[in-house]
Chains A and B, each alone.
Chain A
Amino acid sequence: MKLIKIVSIGSISLLSSTQTLAHINTHAEVDDSIQVRGSMTFRTDSIVEQNEAWILPGFLMGGHALPSQDGFELDEVSVSGAKAFDKFRVQGQVSRHSGHEQIDIDHFFITVPFEHELQLQFGQMPGLSTPLMQWHASVGAVADMPLLTSVFFGGHTQDQGVRLMKHFDSNTTLGVEVWQGNDWPSTSDENPVSAFLKQSFTLSNISFDLGAWYMQSAATSRMDDRYGDDHHSTVTPVNAAYMFTGDVDTGGVYADATTVLFNHVLSFHGEYIMQEHDGVLSDTSESSSLNSQITGYLFELNLNNVMTFGYELLSVENTFGSSVSTTFLNNSGLYNQGFEPERFYVSWQKPVFEGLDYRITLIQETLEPEEDELRFNIGATWVFDVI
């Protein structure tokens, strides 16, 4: 009994299973359960043409940040489960995502509770610093990966690591994590370290969740291998041979607020992330010092768990060292003067029957200077409890 209580403190299930980012929680919450989730979408347009690499001018990109394609796509199918034992608990999830041929083990980790509300987790785990680290098409308000998730985390943060969490009371959680470093923006064996603090409270009839976090990582000869051997190998980005070596520090804050107003449930999620790359960028011949500071904002407003308005904005400040050639600079894909990628969306999601929702989204975005794109998604998401 005690075990279950501890484990579910981290989760934020306020009023119901709303679909805003505030309430993403992709790992099974309930003991001895198996859940199947999925998302399938028809999109009117692709972010880039089939044979083009997706580069947001100015931004270092990589990991698994692949753009969505037009037509029908099975965005995600995943199976997650949890089992409680006497002294510990096991959680796991496998999934298949569009763009990946194989089935991935998203997580498989063990939770061991200790006295004084301390909890140790280890294994292949999702990062808990921000909900954006655990985004999945089946649980977000939109089937498209948020720009912030793409740029800052290369699609997600799930890596081998150890996490120690302390729940001070049912409202405050402090966590410290040490990772292997397999996930963007780190490279293997760099052992990124992260820490987060979460606080929930209620003020008059508004419930708040606030979070602040910081992650220190590093990369050695990191390349953008999104278009490597296993996927999309016909695509060769102009900056395919560029490598980054240096420190990558990321930090962010977010705030959720939920309230009931005239019988309507209104919830808000706001997020700010800043990431700094500081090191050396090189290609097969040239190199330069590089400092890249990326800033991102995301806001979502959800009404009655049905309608979501969202907005994302990114900006970057890149500084190259003296003596660099314009050839090197231009081919790096990092030249950006005044351009800020942004995305605005309105999404409508309602159950067809218990477990199956339809979802319609209108997206207006600017992912290249002076190119406004209006596109439209229609699709379905499902969640079924097998046991």
Chain B
Amino acid sequence: MFFKITKCMLFGTLLMLFGCEKSSTQVDVTQTEVELRALLNIPDHFAIPAIPEENMPTAAKIELGRHLFYDTRLSFNNTMSCESCHEQDKAFSDGVARPVGATGEQLVRNSQGLVNAMYHASFTWANNGFTHIEDQLEVPIRADNPVELGVTEVYADEVLARFDADPAYVQMFADAFPESETGASVNKIIFALASFVRTIVSGDSPFDRFLLGDDNALTDQQKQGFVLFNGEKFECFHCHTGTQLTTSYRDYNTDPANAQNQFFNTGLYNLSSEGDYPAEDQGLFDLTNNPADKGFFRPQSLRNVAVTAPYMHDGSIATLREVIAHYARGGRLIESGPYAGDGRLNPLKSDLVPGFNATDEEIDAVIAFLESLTDESVLTNPALSNPFE
């Protein structure tokens, strides 16, 4: 560095006499970036997501993943596919508070929307160990308590045999994993599904057009809502920030050591003086056993949030208006029943949810802003739709 500057200083003295070089801003775009943008359909105003080295996407993996996503043969009893809980027209959520799995057992959590999911720093509602989609996908496929697709050890061979017996799949597996000749495996299925999920990209909402400089893309009410959302009264932006509207954010450039593994207790419940949430789901605490993690969940990306109702980790809030009422109160009050308690007084609740007084007009504006995050194109994009239809 020293020599570089010394050299420039000598040149500079000469340049004084001749005028100097022009200003410029450039991005060192690599070939990998160009290919990934094209393959995953990533718009320029988003960064490239973090992708594990061992599962770089290819067109063949994505194609295989898309078929598997919509194929009920991926459940032990041929009844469900990923789509059963992740429907395209609902931004890949399912519209119910808590879905049931292939055995009819109800899950404790709400199905997450999958649009731009790959930009989260961790996966599922509360798991600091799932840092890539690949880590998470073991769960819907293999879990036995509760069952989602139910491809447990007992059924794995049977399910894989279905794909090995179908010539179309044999070809797709061979194309997607050309270096392996052993047919279908749970690992290959996970890699292909993760590659497909990384193509569920939304970057063409009115909000995106606004980010790109089109001042008319948002209505005045939506702009007012955006200002409130980013203001110190509503304080939403502290946890829902950046292009993906969440602090749980990670992309290709994020130093994994700084990946913001963020979880918060927003005061949805308060069942004891320790700030308990319902015993069947205490969020991060269920993994860490650290009492300070009770009720800690990941802030969701709010992209397409208007079509992913009901809300929160257990689908316990039906509408966006009620979500805002919960924040405005500074925590939810449940007056009776097994979950009775005042979430506002939850001792583990984040300081960023202090409560605020908002007029109906202001709440309408914030809802209107949240609606501007809906990207119709991702809800209808044929490349993401059921290939069997």
Of A47-55, A268-276, A354-362, A370-378, the segment with at least 4 beta carbons within 8 Å of chain B is A268-276
What are the residues of chain A within 8 A of B253 when measuring CB–CB? 286-289, 321, 323-324
What are the residues of chain A within 8 A of B44 when measuring CB–CB? 325-326
Of B136-144, B244-252, B290-298, the segment with at least 4 beta carbons within 8 Å of chain A is B244-252
Tell me, rounded to whole Å, the shortest Cβ–Cβ distance linking A367 to chain B: 13
What are the residues of chain B within 8 A of A42 when measuring CB–CB? none
Given A323-B33, A325-B47: A287 and B27 interface contact (C-beta under 8 Å): no
A329 at the interface (CB under 8 A from B): yes
Of B4-12, B104-112, B161-169, B183-191, the segment with at least 4 beta carbons within 8 Å of chain A is B4-12
In A288-340, which residues have CB < 8 Å from any B CB?
288-289, 295, 297, 299, 313, 315-329, 334-340
Cα–Cα, bound, A274→B21 (Å): 12
Interface of B is mostly: loop
Cα–Cα, bound, A319→B243 (Å): 21
What are the residues of chain A within 8 A of B32 when measuring CB–CB? 322
Count of interface residues, chain A, beta-carbon cutoff 8 Å: 50
Q: When the two chains form the complex, which single residue of B13, B46, B241, B247 contacts A272, counting CB atoms closer than 8 Å?
A: B13
A278 at the interface (CB under 8 A from B): yes
Of A15-23, A77-85, A178-186, A244-252, the segment with at least 4 beta carbons within 8 Å of chain B is A244-252
Given A212-B9, A272-B12, A287-B253: A334 and B28 interface contact (C-beta under 8 Å): no
A102 at the interface (CB under 8 A from B): no
What are the residues of chain A within 8 A of B16 when measuring CB–CB? 270, 272, 297, 299
Tell me, rounded to whole Å, the shortest Cβ–Cβ distance linking B125 to chain A: 19
Cα–Cα, bound, A282→B30 (Å): 20
B287 at the interface (CB under 8 A from A): no
Interface string of B42-81 (1 = CB under 8 A from A): 0011111000000000000000000000000000000000
Cα–Cα, bound, A286→B255 (Å): 10
What are the residues of chain A within 8 A of B21 when measuring CB–CB? 295, 315, 317
Whether A326 pairs with B23 at a CB distance below 8 angstroms is: no
Whether A214 pairs with B5 at a CB distance below 8 angstroms is: yes
Which of A212, A276, A288 has most B Cβ within 10 Å?
A288
Q: Give the residue name and chain of the A residue nearest to B30 (CB).
A: A322
Whether B26 pairs with A324 at a CB distance below 8 angstroms is: no
Given A285-B247, A285-B260, A320-B28: A337 and B23 interface contact (C-beta under 8 Å): yes
Tell me, rounded to whole Å, the shortest Cβ–Cβ distance linking B44 to chain A: 5
Tell me, rounded to whole Å, the shortest Cβ–Cβ distance linking A286 to chain B: 6
Q: Give the residue name and chain of the A residue nearest to B211 (CB).
A: A327
Interface string of A340-369 (1 = CB under 8 A from B): 100000000000000000000000000000
What are the residues of chain B within 8 A of A30 when measuring CB–CB? none
Tell me, rounded to whole Å, the shortest Cβ–Cβ distance linking B261 to chain A: 13
Cα–Cα, bound, A247→B254 (Å): 19
What are the residues of chain B within 8 A of A212 when measuring CB–CB? 9
Given A253-B9, A285-B260, A325-B243: A315 and B22 interface contact (C-beta under 8 Å): yes
B2 at the interface (CB under 8 A from A): yes
A205 at the interface (CB under 8 A from B): no
Whether B24 pairs with A322 at a CB distance below 8 angstroms is: no
Cα–Cα, bound, A250→B9 (Å): 10
Cα–Cα, bound, A212→B6 (Å): 10
A284 at the interface (CB under 8 A from B): yes
What are the residues of chain B within 8 A of A284 when measuring CB–CB? 241-242, 247
Tell me, rounded to whole Å, the shortest Cβ–Cβ distance linking B210 to chain A: 11
Cα–Cα, bound, A318→B22 (Å): 11
Whether A285 pairs with B244 at a CB distance below 8 angstroms is: yes
What are the residues of chain A within 8 A of B47 when measuring CB–CB? 286, 288, 323-325, 328
A209 at the interface (CB under 8 A from B): no
What are the residues of chain A within 8 A of B260 when measuring CB–CB? 285
| Beyond known contacts A251-B8, A324-B27, A325-B44: 12 more, CB 8 A cutoff | A253-B9, A286-B251, A286-B254, A288-B253, A297-B12, A315-B23, A319-B26, A320-B25, A322-B48, A323-B30, A327-B45, A337-B24
Q: Which 7 A-B pairs have the closest CB atoms?
A: A285-B242, A323-B48, A285-B249, A251-B5, A272-B12, A323-B252, A322-B30
Task: Name 18 interchain pairs, CB-CB below 8 A, sorted by A.
Answer: A214-B2, A251-B5, A278-B1, A284-B241, A284-B247, A285-B241, A285-B247, A288-B253, A315-B20, A316-B24, A317-B21, A320-B25, A323-B253, A325-B46, A325-B243, A337-B23, A337-B25, A338-B24
Q: Which residues of B contact A (CB under 8 A)?
A: 1-2, 4-6, 8-9, 12-13, 15-16, 20-30, 32-33, 44-48, 211-212, 241-244, 246-247, 249, 251-255, 258, 260
